[in-house]
Amino acid sequence: MRAVGHAGLVALLLVLATCGGGGGGSLQFSLPADGTVIDAPLRLAVSGPGITRATFDVDGAVVGDDSAAPFEWTIDGAAYSGDHVVTIVAHRDDGEHAASATLTFTGVVFLVPADGAVLDIPTSFAAEGAAVASVEFRLDGAVALVDAAAPFSWTLDPEAVAEGSHEVTVEAFFAGGSRSRTISVRTVKDDEPPPGDVLAAIQALEPGEWYEIPDTHLRDVAADPEPPGSVAAVIGAWCSGAYDTKRDRLIVWGGGHGDYSGNEIYAFSMKSFTWKRLNEPSTFPPGEEQNPLNKVRHADGAPVSRHTYDYLEYVPSVDRFFSGGGAGLWWTGQFSDRTTYMFDFDTLAWTQHGDCPCYGVATSAVGPDGRVWMHGAFDQEAVLAAFDAETSTWTKYAAYNQWIGYVRNAEIDPVENKYVMIGDGQVRIWDLVTPNAQHVVATTTGTGPTGDTGDYPGVAYDPTAKRLVVWNGGATVFSFDVATLHWTAHATTGVNTTPPAAARNGTNGRWRYVPSLKVFVVVNGVDENVFVYRHSS
C-alpha cells in the first residue's frame, strides 16, 4: 500500500538528480539535497522510461516498495531522528539505478497548510513526534493554545478572526529543546449570512417548483480590468461547472477560443447565496495576448482559457477541482490540450497530472469508487478511461474509436454503477463493473428530451429519487431511470418563478445537485440570476 502524506503540508524543496540509466533513458529522482532538515512527511519519487518497480530505503532497510507508476513513497518524518541515509532505487530491465542523500530528521513533523494558503473553512494545524511533550500554537504572535497531550492540534476558524493576512506559528517542545514552523495564511469569511427570506424560500419549495435567487449576477465579481474577450463566455462558450460539496458551492470555469482569454475561477456559495472570484486571471507576455504560439498553459502553470464542455468535476477524496484536458483554447481554438489539471482551493494553484486518454470534447463524472470517469467524443479519443486523483494515474478501458459526436453529457448512477451519456436524443450506457465491454445504445421508453433540449443538457443524479435528472431550458425537467430505461417528463408546478431559458450553447455541468438543500442549482449567464429547482421531496 502506498503511504500518503498530509494533504495540506508545506512542500519540501526537492532537487532532481538525473541518472543516465545505462542507455535505457534518463531517470529523475525527487530527493532533497544532502543536509536538508526534514520536519514534514517526506515525499520521494522517481520517473523515467522502463521503470518496473521502485524501492525506498532508510539506512539500507527497505521502507517502501511501489510497482505501479507514479513511483513514489511518503516517509513519516516523525519516525526518525538525527542523520539518516535515504535511497531511491529504480528497477529496470537494464539493472538497478539509485540516488541517495543524507538527511537530518528532527523527530517532529508539522502538519500545516501551504505557506500563503487561503483559508475559507476551519483548518487544522498539528505537530507529531514520539518525543514531543507539548505544542504551542500562536496566531499573530499571541498564544492561541498550548496542547500538552497528543494528538497535538488546533483549528483556525476564519469566521473567528479578522479577514486578511495572518501569521501562524506551531512550536513543538521536547526534552532539551523545541522546533517551530511559521507560515502566512489569508483568511476569508464566508461572505455574509444568507438572507433569511432566500433560505426560507428555497426550503419551502415543493417538488416541481423553481426559485430565482435575487441579485446573483456573476458579472458583479468579474475581473477588472476585463481580460481580452468577454467574461460572458465563462458561461456562454460551451462551458461547464462542478459542485464543491465541502464548501457548498457551484464552481464555474470556462472561456477560450475567440471568446475570452481569462482563466479565473468563479464560485457561487449556497450558504451565503453570493458569487466570489477565487483567483485572478493569468496574463500573457506583452505582444502575445492572442496566444500566437498556441500555448496550453501560462508561465504560472495555470491552463490557458478553454471551452470546458462537461469535463469539470470536484473530487472529494483529494478536495480538488478537476479538468480533463481541453478543447477550443484561446485564441484560435484550433488546438487541444491533453494535460490533466487539478486546482487546490487552499493554495489557489493548478498542478499537472499526466495526459488524458480522452481529452477534447469530453464528458466526465465521479464514480462510487472515487475515480473520475471520462469519455471522449470522436475517433481516437472515443475511449472510456478513469482517473485516480490520489495516485495521479489514468486507466484506459473500452475503446470505441468511432465518432460519437458533440452535444452529449454524462453522469454516473451510483446505485446501478453505470456511466450514462445523454444527448442528441440518445442514451449510451457503460457498465462500470465490466468497463472493458463496449457500451450499449439504450432502447428507452417514455418521453425524454429532444431537439435543442437534448443538446449539451445538464445531467445530475438525485439520490432521493434515485434518478438522473436532466434539464436544458424551459418548463419541463426530465428524469431517467437507469434500471428500467424509462424517461419521465415533469412539468413545472406551483406558482413560483418561471423556469429560465438555457444558455445558447448548452447547460453542461452547470446543473448540479446540492446535497445540503436537496435542490438542483443552475446558472445560464453572467448577467442572469442563479436558479434552484426541487425535484423530489
In a domain, 343, yes or no: yes
Residue 127 CA to residue 171 CA, distance in Å, equals: 8
Same domain, 255 and 291: yes
The CA-based angle 171-177-181, given to 5 degrees, is 25
Residue 118 CA to residue 474 CA, distance in Å, equals: 39
24-31: Cβ within 8 A, 24+ apart: 24/49, 24/50, 24/92, 24/93, 24/94, 25/49, 25/50, 27/51, 27/90, 27/97, 29/88, 29/90, 29/99, 30/72, 31/86, 31/88, 31/99, 31/100, 31/101
Hey, which residues does 165 pair with through a beta bridge? 186
Pairing of strands 418-423, 409-413: antiparallel
Same domain, 140 and 77: no
Residue 500 CA to residue 535 CA, distance in Å, equals: 16
For position 182, which CATH number holds? 2.60.40.10
Residue 182 CA to residue 167 CA, distance in Å, equals: 7
DSSP, collapsed to helix, strand or coil, labels residue 334 as: coil
Residue 364 CA to residue 76 CA, distance in Å, equals: 35
Same domain, 201 and 250: yes
In a domain, 71, yes or no: yes
pLDDT, residue 6, reads 34
Residue 58: its H or E element = strand 53-58
Question: Which of 533, 500, 504, 408 is CA-nearest to residue 458?
Answer: 408
Cell numbers representing residue 230 in the block = 468577454
Written as one string, the DSSP assignment of 188-252 is ----SPPPHHHHHHHHTPPTT-EEEESS--GGGG--SSPPSB-TTHHHHTT-EEEEETTTTEEEE
Domain boundary residue, one of 154, 187, 220? 187
Provide the whole-model pTM.
Answer: 0.78
In a domain, 355, yes or no: yes
For position 465, which CATH number holds? 2.120.10.80
Structural domain boundaries, residue 408: 196-533
Cell numbers representing residue 429 in the block = 450506457
Residue 263 CA to residue 266 CA, distance in Å, equals: 10
Contact 353, 344 (CB under 8 A): no
Residue 280: its H or E element = none
Residue 265 CA to residue 218 CA, distance in Å, equals: 11
What are φ and ψ of residue 246, in 5° steps? -70, -40
Same domain, 321 and 397: yes
Hey, which residues does 251 pair with through a beta bridge? 242, 267
Instruction: Report the number of distinct structural domains present in the chain.
Output: 3
Helix, strand, coil % in the chain, rounded to nearest 5: 5, 45, 50
In a domain, 5, yes or no: no
Same domain, 75 and 123: no
Q: What is the largest CA-CA distance in the chain?
A: 76
Tens of each residue's pLDDT in the chain, 537 residues? 222 233 333 233 344 444 554 456 788 898 999 999 998 888 898 988 889 999 999 999 999 999 887 788 989 888 898 999 999 999 998 899 999 999 999 889 999 988 888 888 899 999 999 889 999 999 999 999 999 999 999 999 998 999 899 999 999 999 889 999 999 998 988 666 667 899 999 999 999 999 999 999 999 999 999 999 999 999 999 999 999 999 999 999 999 999 999 999 999 999 999 999 999 999 999 999 999 999 999 999 999 999 999 999 999 999 999 999 889 999 999 989 999 999 999 889 999 998 999 977 889 999 999 999 999 887 777 899 999 999 899 999 988 878 888 899 999 999 999 999 999 999 999 999 999 999 999 999 999 998 777 899 999 999 999 999 999 999 999 999 999 999 999 999 876 678 899 999 999 999 999 999 999 999 999 999 999 999 998
